[in-house]
Chains A and B, each alone.
Chain A
Amino acid sequence: MKALLASAFFLLFAARARGADDFATVAAPFLKKHCVACHSEKKQEGEVRLDQLDAVNAGNRNLWATVHQKVAAGEMPPKERAQPADAGKKAVLTWIADKQRALGTGGTRRLNRRELSSALRDVTGLQVDFATGLPGDGTVAGFDTGADGLPEASDAVAQWLIVTRRAVDGLYFLDAPIGQRFAMNFAEVMDVKKAFEAWKADGATGKELRGVARPGLGLLIDPRAVGEREEWSVSVPAPASKEGVLRLTLIVSAMKPMEGIPNPRLWVRIGGQDLDFREISGTADKPQKLVYEVQLGDLVVQSKGVTVALSNKVEIPYAVAGFENEDKTSPNDKNPAPGGTGPFRPQFDRKALPPEKQPAPHLVLHRVDIEPFAVTTWPPKDWNANIGEIKDDAASAKRLLALWMDRAWRRPVVDAEQAPFLKLYEKVRADGGSIDAALRAAFQAVLMSAPFRYHGSPAHPDPGTAQHAIAGRLSFMFWGEPPDVELRALATAGKLRDPKVLDAQVDRLLADPRSRAFTRPFVTQWLELEQPITIAQVHINKQAFRFARYLKVSMRDETLAYFARLVADNRPASELVASDWTMMNDALALHYGYEPLAGGELRKVKLRADDPRGGGILGHAGIQSMLCWMGENWVIYRGAWALRHVLDIPPPPPPLEVPELNPSDGKNKGKPFRDLLKQHQSDGRCSVCHKNIDPVGFAFQNFDISGRWRDVEHEFYQRGELDGRIAWAGAGKTRPVDATGHLPRGEAFKTFGEFKQLVAKNYRDDLTRGLMKNFFVYGTGRVPGIDDRAEIAAIMDEYREKGYPLRDLLKAVARSRAFLESHPLPQEPKPPAGNPK
C-alpha cells in the first residue's frame, strides 16, 4: 500500500514536472484521433463537443471526468471504431486523473439559502424564516448544495447585508425595551365585542373578532372551505421603523362533537403572507401551543399596522351520520372521475345549530398573544451560556462577542481572530454608539465574514479546524443546520474520522426528527418533485378544487415519507421501486380508494394484494401526476424521468431543432399515441434517444392524470381551461390500457408489475449507483470526480450482497474519503523519501 501511494506520488510529480505542454503532447493527439470525428462542431453526438476542450481546469473538470469514465469503461470510442492502443489509453487516463487531483476538490462552497436561514436562526435564537429575504440558489445536478451553483454576486451580497442587519437589530444585550402586547385569554372572555374594545383602546383595528365565545373554554372559530374569505383577523400597530420581529403565540385545540368529523386545519396569515397550514389535533384538556416569529421587513405593513389572520379550513371531504352531504357534482358531467368525486361535507344550517351540535370541526382558540415588537435578549436563555454578569464594559462585550463568534463560525475561535471584530466594536463605541449598537455592528460583521458564510473544509491543514468542518458537513447534510453540542464535542476530541464514531453519529442524526431537513430537500431535488402536480381539474370539478391544495401536499409527502421510512428501517435499495407497503394519510386513502384513515399524519399501510400499483415510488400518485403537467406527451416525460432519476441511464437533452410531438394537432388527432411514437422512433433524429425513452414510458400508461390507476384510456385528451388553469379532459372512444414495452437492455414487460420486478431484479446496481452519485453531490458539493466514482464502485461492492441497505449506504457516504476529504492533498507534493519499492 505504501509503495502504491509512493508510486502514485512519483507519477504525479513526474506529470507535473512535464509542465503545461503535456495537454498538447498527451491528450490532444488522443482526442483528435479518437473523439472529434463525432464530437465536434459538425456532428455533436450526444450534445458533446470535444474539439474545443482545453487542459483540465475548473470549468471543464466534469467533462473531462466523463471522458475518463467512458474511455476507461471501454464505451468510447464505440466498438465499431478503431480502438486506441492500451499504452496510449492508459497514459491519457492517468493524465486526466492527475490533472483533476491537482485542481483540489472544488467543493468549497457558501451556505445555500436554506442553510443561511437555519444558521441565522441558530445563532440569533430567533425562529424567523430568514430565507424570505434571500435570493434563490442555482443547482448542480439538480441539488442546491453544489459549489458551482452557489456563486457570489453583488446583488446577493447587498441583500445579505440587509438580512444580517435585520437579524442583529432584533437583539438586545443590556436594557431591552418593553414592547406592546395584545394578549387575550379567551376562556375568560364573556363578550368578544367588549374584549376587542380593550385591544382597540391600545391601537388595534378591525371590524370584529370573529368567533363564538365559550367562557371557560375559549373562542370557537367555525370551519370554512378553501376559497372562502372569512377569517379571524386583527390589525395591530407596527413600530414606526416598520422593522423588528413580530411574535404570535397561540394556544389552540380541536372541537369535534361527532364521529366522522376530521381535525380542523389552521391557516395562519400575517401581513399578507401565508405562514402555516397545520392540522390541529389537540383537545381542550391538552391544547397545542404554537409560536410564530416573523420580521416586519418581510411583510406588508400598512398604515393601520400588521394584520394577523387565522382561519379554520376543511380540506378533506367527510360524512357524519344523520346529515345529508352537499354534493356539487352534476349528473350531466361528461367525464365523471373513476369512482366518482365523493362527498363534500355534511349540510347543515349554521344559524340554527350551536357549534356543539354542528357536524363540523371547530377550532378552539384558548389564548392569543401578539407582540408586534418582540424584544429578544441575547444569548437565548436555553443555551445556559456561562457568560457571567453583563455590564456596560469592554470585558462583557468581549465575552459576548466570543460566544457569538464561536456559535457563528461553528468552531472555537482564538483571540487573534476576534481582534478585528473587537476593533469594530471599539470604533463604534468611540463614535458615541451604545454597547448594544456597537455589539450589533461587530455581530453583523461576523455574519458577513467568510467563516460564517462558507462551509469549512475537512481538508484544512489544522486538524482541529478540519474536525469541526466534518462536524458541520455531517450536521448540514443530515439536519440542514449547524452542528449541535455532541458533534462539536466529538470534533474537539478529534474523533470524527473514526468510522465507528461516524456510524453512530449518522444513526443518531437520522433518528432525530430534524433529519426531515435531509429527506425533504434531498428527495425533492433528486426526483424533481417541485414540478406542479396536475390533477385533472375537470374531473375533480369545483368542489374538489377545495381539497386540491391538501391532496397535492399529501401526494408529495407520500414519496418523502416513503424514502424516510426506507432509511429509518434500513431497507434494501430495490424497495425504492418494489414493495408491498406505502405511506398514507386521510387524503391519500381517499384518493387511492382505500378504507378511510383519520388524520393527516402519514403512516405505513400494507397495500391490498390486488392493488396493481404495488409499493415503490414509481406507483406514487404524486410522481405520475406531476409528470403530466407539461402536456399530453406524458409517455415521453414519464419514460425520460424514470431513466434519468431511477435507472441512472439519463437520455441526453433533445436537440433544439426537433419539434415537439403534438398529439392533438390536426393530422395526429385521434391516432393512438403508440402509433405516433412509432413514427417518432423511426425518425432518425429522434430515434437515438426515444428508442430507450418511449418503451419505458409505456409502463406507466395505467396511471391517469391524477396518478390513479385506470384500466381504460381515452383515444385522446383535450387541453382546456378552468378559471385560467390548465385542464386535460379525456375525449373520444376508450380502449383498454396497453402497457407493454421494454427496458433499456431489452427486457420486455407486459404490465406495470412486471416492469417493476424487472427493474428491481436487473437494474438494482444502476439504481443504487445513481442514488450514490446523488448522495455524493448532496454531501460533498460537487459532481463525483474520477476518484469519487471509483470509491462509489468500491462501496457498492461492499454492500451488493446485502442488497444495498439504504442507511448503511448513507453511513458509507459519511465514512468516504470524498466526504471526509481525507486524500493527501496533492497541492504541494513532496517527492517520496528514499527509493520507491
Chain B
Amino acid sequence: MNPKTHWITRRTLLRGFGAALALPYLEIMGGQTRAAESGAKEPRRLACFYVPGAIGRATWFPTDTGKDYTISAAHKPLETMRDEFTVLTNLLHITGRISGHVHPYNWLTGHNININPGTITNTVSMDQVAAKHLGPTWVPSLTLSFADGVGTATLSRNALGVDVAATANYRTVFERLFPPADKDQLKEAHARLALNKSVLGTAGAGVKDFQKHLGADDKKRLDQYLESIREVEKRLDDSELILDRGRPKFDEEAVKLVPQGKNGMREHIELMMDLIALAFQTDMTRVVTHSLGGEGGPNYDEYKDWAQKAGAPVRGAHDVHHKAQGAADSPEAKVIFARDLMLVECLARLMTKLKGVRAADGNLLDHTVILFGGAQISSHSGKSFPTLLAGGRKLGFKHGQHVKYDSEKKPMSDLYLTILQQLGCPVKSFKESASPLSEVLA
C-alpha cells in the first residue's frame, strides 16, 4: 500500500501531536485482543529485537545453567517474569559467520553475505518466512529501526534476499498500520482491489482455452496457474474483508507519536514498542522486526549520562561497543552494562504490557514469540550470539532456564526453525538448521 497517503484525518494527527501522556493500552478494546473480542482463535505473533554492537560479557551471561540458574545482573529487570523467558548461550551462524558492522544483514538470515567481494548477497530472513504464513493481516509485517532505510538499518530481507526497507518514524508506522478512515481513501483502496479482481477474472477466464490442445502432463501445469489465480483472488477478498471491518475503534488521540526528548534511546524504543503492542492487540500485523540501534550510532543522549555515572570518558556507541570487555567493575564495562540494563528494562516493559492484554486463551504474551538479542558478544566476533527468547507459552515454549550449548557448534538457524515451527509455519528447515531445539519446547 502507499505509505505516503495520509490515511488518518488531519484532526487526528493534530491531536496526536499534542498528546504526550502514555496511552493506557489496557483500556483499548476493553483490554483484550481482537480474537478475544470476537471469539476467534488467537493468532500467533513474532517480534525480533536486535541489540547492536556488543554486550557486557561479565554481566549478561548467567554463571550457571539449567532451571535453577541465578539470574544475571543485566537480566534483573526480568526477575519477576523468570518463567516467561530463556537465556540461550553459544548459538551462532556457522557457515554464515561474518564480522564487523555488517551483522544486521545476516542476523536473521544466516547467509554468508561476503561470498562475492564488492557486492553483498543475501537470502530470506526468518521473520519474512513467518510473515508469509501468519497472515492475512492488513500489514504483512512491520520493519522498524533506529533509522529509515535499508542495509544495516533493517533486519528483514524478502524471499529474494532483497532488503525490506525499515522505518524509524512513529507517524509513518501509525499511518501504515490501519486501513483508511477517510472515505475517499477507503473508496480508492476498494477500487484498486476491485480492479485487480477484474484483471485476474479476465485473465483467468482464458486459461481453459489455452489448455484445450495440450497433453495431460501439460494441462496440469495450466491448472496450477488457474488455481494460483484463484488463490490470489481469495487473498484480495481477505483484504477487502479487513477493509470492510474498518479501522479498529480506540482512542487514537491518546497514541503518542512525538517524543519529548530529542535524542533519547529509551524513549525511541518505548514509543516503537507501544506501537508494536497496539499492532498486535488490534491484529493489524503479526510480525515485527526492530533494530534497537546501530553498530556505530546514533549516539543517543544516554551514552553521556552512563559515561559520567561510570566515571568513563564520554564515547559514542561504536567505541562503547569496542571497549565493552574487561572486568565487571571497570568503568567501560559499567557503561555497556547500563545500556544492556536499559534495553532489558524496555523488554520487560513490553512483556508486562502484552501480559496485561487478555487473549482468546491466556494473555497476548502467551501467543507472541519474542526474540531479543544480538550477533556479537564482543565487537567483531560472530562466535556467540547473546540471545533471549521470551513469550509464546501457549505456542509450546518452555522457559525459566539458561541453556548453554557447546561452543561454536549449534547453529542459530536451529532456533529459527524452532520458532517458525511453533508459529505453525509449514517449514522443515531454515538455512543451516539440523533440528528444532528441544530444550525450549514444553
Task: Show the binding face of A for B, using Cβ within 8 Å.
Answer: 58, 61, 103-110, 132, 135-136, 147, 150-158, 161, 165, 226-227, 240-242, 272, 274, 300, 302-303, 417, 420-421, 423-424, 427-428, 441-442, 444-446, 448-451, 453-454, 457, 459-461, 532, 545, 548-549, 552, 721, 723-725, 825, 827
Closest Cβ neighbor of A300 among chain B residues: B150
A265 CB to closest chain B CB (Å) equals: 12
Measured between beta carbons, the chain B residues less than 8 angstroms from A106 are 215, 217-218
B197-211 interface code vs A (CB 8 A; 1 in, 0 out)? 011101111110111
Beyond A106-B215, A241-B2, whether A724 also contacts B100 by CB under 8 A is yes
Beyond A154-B228, A460-B213, whether A450 also contacts B206 by CB under 8 A is yes
Question: Which B residues between 197 and 247 are near A, CB-CB below 8 angstroms?
Answer: 198-200, 202-207, 209-211, 213-218, 220-222, 224-225, 227-229, 231-232, 235
A129 CB to closest chain B CB (Å) equals: 13
List 20 additional A-B contacts (Cβ < 8 Å) besides A61-B217, A242-B2. Answer: A103-B215, A136-B160, A154-B228, A155-B159, A157-B225, A241-B2, A272-B163, A300-B163, A428-B198, A441-B198, A445-B198, A446-B203, A450-B225, A451-B210, A457-B213, A461-B213, A552-B116, A723-B100, A724-B98, A724-B382
Q: Which of B114, B116, B132, B211 lies in contact with A723, CB distance below 8 A?
A: B114
Q: How far is the CA of A155 from the CA of B133 in the complex (A)?
A: 11
Q: How far is the CA of A444 from the CA of B201 in the complex (A)?
A: 12
Q: How far is the CA of A150 from the CA of B114 in the complex (A)?
A: 29
List 7 A-B pairs, minimum CB-CB distance, nearest first.
A104-B215, A448-B203, A108-B218, A154-B231, A549-B118, A450-B210, A106-B217
The 8 sampled A-B contact pairs (Cβ below 8 Å) are A108-B215, A155-B159, A158-B232, A417-B206, A548-B117, A723-B114, A725-B117, A825-B215
> Is B264 in contact with chain A by the CB < 8 A criterion?
no
> Is B119 in contact with chain A by the CB < 8 A criterion?
yes
Task: Show the binding face of B for A, using Cβ within 8 Å.
Answer: 2-4, 97-100, 102, 114-119, 132, 148-151, 159-160, 162-163, 165, 195-196, 198-200, 202-207, 209-211, 213-218, 220-222, 224-225, 227-229, 231-232, 235, 382
Q: Which of A151, A420, A460 lies in contact with B221, CB distance below 8 A?
A: A151
Beyond A106-B215, A457-B214, whether A152 also contacts B118 by CB under 8 A is no
Whether the pair B215, A105 counts as a contact (CB closer than 8 A) is yes
Whether the pair A147, B221 counts as a contact (CB closer than 8 A) is yes
Beyond A152-B227, A242-B4, A725-B117, whether A451 also contacts B206 by CB under 8 A is yes
Whether the pair A532, B115 counts as a contact (CB closer than 8 A) is yes
Measured between beta carbons, the chain A residues less than 8 angstroms from B118 are 226-227, 548-549
Whether the pair A104, B165 counts as a contact (CB closer than 8 A) is no
Which of A242, A459, A723: most chain B CB closer than 10 A?
Answer: A723
Whether the pair A135, B159 counts as a contact (CB closer than 8 A) is yes
Whether the pair A157, B160 counts as a contact (CB closer than 8 A) is no
Beyond A110-B225, A424-B198, A725-B114, whether A449 also contacts B214 by CB under 8 A is no
Measured between beta carbons, the chain B residues less than 8 angstroms from A150 are 221
Closest Cβ neighbor of A131 among chain B residues: B160
Closest Cβ neighbor of B169 among chain A residues: A303
Measured between beta carbons, the chain A residues less than 8 angstroms from B132 are 155
Whether the pair B99, A724 counts as a contact (CB closer than 8 A) is yes
Closest Cβ neighbor of A150 among chain B residues: B221
Q: Which of B99, B200, B213, B222 lies in contact with A454, CB distance below 8 A?
A: B222
Whether the pair A545, B117 counts as a contact (CB closer than 8 A) is yes
Measured between beta carbons, the chain A residues less than 8 angstroms from B210 are 449-451, 454
Q: How far is the CA of A292 from the CA of B343 in the complex (A)?
A: 45
A253 CB to closest chain B CB (Å) equals: 25
Which of B199, B206, B225, B228: most chain A CB closer than 10 A?
Answer: B199
Whether the pair B224, A151 counts as a contact (CB closer than 8 A) is yes
Beyond A106-B215, A450-B222, A723-B114, whether A161 also contacts B199 by CB under 8 A is yes
Measured between beta carbons, the chain B residues less than 8 angstroms from A459 are 213
Closest Cβ neighbor of A422 among chain B residues: B202
Q: How far is the CA of A446 from the CA of B199 in the complex (A)?
A: 9
B63 CB to closest chain A CB (Å) equals: 30
Whether the pair B199, A445 counts as a contact (CB closer than 8 A) is yes
Whether the pair A420, B216 counts as a contact (CB closer than 8 A) is no
Measured between beta carbons, the chain A residues less than 8 angstroms from B199 are 161, 424, 441, 444-445, 448
Measured between beta carbons, the chain B residues less than 8 angstroms from A417 are 206
Closest Cβ neighbor of A462 among chain B residues: B213
Q: How far is the CA of A453 from the CA of B226 in the complex (A)?
A: 12
Measured between beta carbons, the chain A residues less than 8 angstroms from B221 are 108-110, 147, 150-152
Q: How far is the CA of A647 from the CA of B51 in the complex (A)?
A: 52
Measured between beta carbons, the chain A residues less than 8 angstroms from B235 are 154, 158
Measured between beta carbons, the chain A residues less than 8 angstroms from B225 are 110, 152, 157, 450, 453-454
Closest Cβ neighbor of B229 among chain A residues: A157
A480 CB to closest chain B CB (Å) equals: 20
Closest Cβ neighbor of A416 among chain B residues: B209
Measured between beta carbons, the chain B residues less than 8 angstroms from A103 are 215-217
Q: How far is the CA of A453 from the CA of B196 in the complex (A)?
A: 17
A825 CB to closest chain B CB (Å) equals: 7
Measured between beta carbons, the chain B residues less than 8 angstroms from A446 are 203
Closest Cβ neighbor of A108 among chain B residues: B218
Beyond A241-B2, A300-B165, A449-B203, whether A272 also contacts B151 by CB under 8 A is yes
Q: How far is the CA of A303 from the CA of B147 in the complex (A)?
A: 12
Q: How far is the CA of A608 from the CA of B402 in the complex (A)?
A: 66
B97 CB to closest chain A CB (Å) equals: 7
Whether the pair B195, A441 counts as a contact (CB closer than 8 A) is yes
Q: How far is the CA of A154 from the CA of B232 in the complex (A)?
A: 6
Q: Which of A135, A152, A161, A227 lies in contact with B196, CB distance below 8 A?
A: A161
Beyond A448-B200, A724-B98, whether A272 also contacts B159 by CB under 8 A is no
Q: Which of A241, A274, A300, A723 lies in contact with B99, CB distance below 8 A?
A: A723
Measured between beta carbons, the chain B residues less than 8 angstroms from A241 are 2, 4
Which of B98, B150, B209, B228: most chain A CB closer than 10 A?
Answer: B228
Q: Which of A226, A272, A274, A450 lies in contact with B150, CB distance below 8 A?
A: A272
Measured between beta carbons, the chain A residues less than 8 angstroms from B217 are 58, 61, 103-106
Measured between beta carbons, the chain A residues less than 8 angstroms from B114 are 723-725
Closest Cβ neighbor of B200 among chain A residues: A448
Q: How far is the CA of A424 from the CA of B196 in the complex (A)?
A: 11
Whether the pair B202, A421 counts as a contact (CB closer than 8 A) is yes
Measured between beta carbons, the chain B residues less than 8 angstroms from A132 are 162
Q: How far is the CA of A445 from the CA of B204 in the complex (A)?
A: 9
Closest Cβ neighbor of B191 among chain A residues: A431
B201 CB to closest chain A CB (Å) equals: 8
Beyond A103-B215, A300-B150, whether A449 also contacts B196 by CB under 8 A is no
Whether the pair B216, A104 counts as a contact (CB closer than 8 A) is yes
A629 CB to closest chain B CB (Å) equals: 8
B119 CB to closest chain A CB (Å) equals: 7
Q: Which of A104, A108, A445 lies in contact with B203, CB distance below 8 A?
A: A445
Closest Cβ neighbor of A782 among chain B residues: B217
Beyond A103-B216, A724-B100, whether A445 also contacts B229 by CB under 8 A is no
Measured between beta carbons, the chain A residues less than 8 angstroms from B218 are 104-108, 147, 457
Whether the pair A240, B200 counts as a contact (CB closer than 8 A) is no
B297 CB to closest chain A CB (Å) equals: 17
Q: How far is the CA of A391 from the CA of B58 in the complex (A)?
A: 76
A106 CB to closest chain B CB (Å) equals: 4
Measured between beta carbons, the chain B residues less than 8 angstroms from A136 are 160
Measured between beta carbons, the chain B residues less than 8 angstroms from A155 are 132, 159
Measured between beta carbons, the chain A residues less than 8 angstroms from B150 are 272, 300
Whether the pair B214, A104 counts as a contact (CB closer than 8 A) is yes
Whether the pair A302, B116 counts as a contact (CB closer than 8 A) is no
Measured between beta carbons, the chain B residues less than 8 angstroms from A723 are 99-100, 114
Q: Which of A151, A302, A421, A441 lies in contact with B148, CB distance below 8 A?
A: A302
B176 CB to closest chain A CB (Å) equals: 13
Closest Cβ neighbor of B198 among chain A residues: A424
Q: How far is the CA of A460 from the CA of B210 in the complex (A)?
A: 10
Q: How far is the CA of A161 from the CA of B228 in the complex (A)?
A: 11
Q: How far is the CA of A240 from the CA of B4 in the complex (A)?
A: 6
Closest Cβ neighbor of A451 among chain B residues: B210
Beyond A450-B206, A724-B98, whether A157 also contacts B213 by CB under 8 A is no
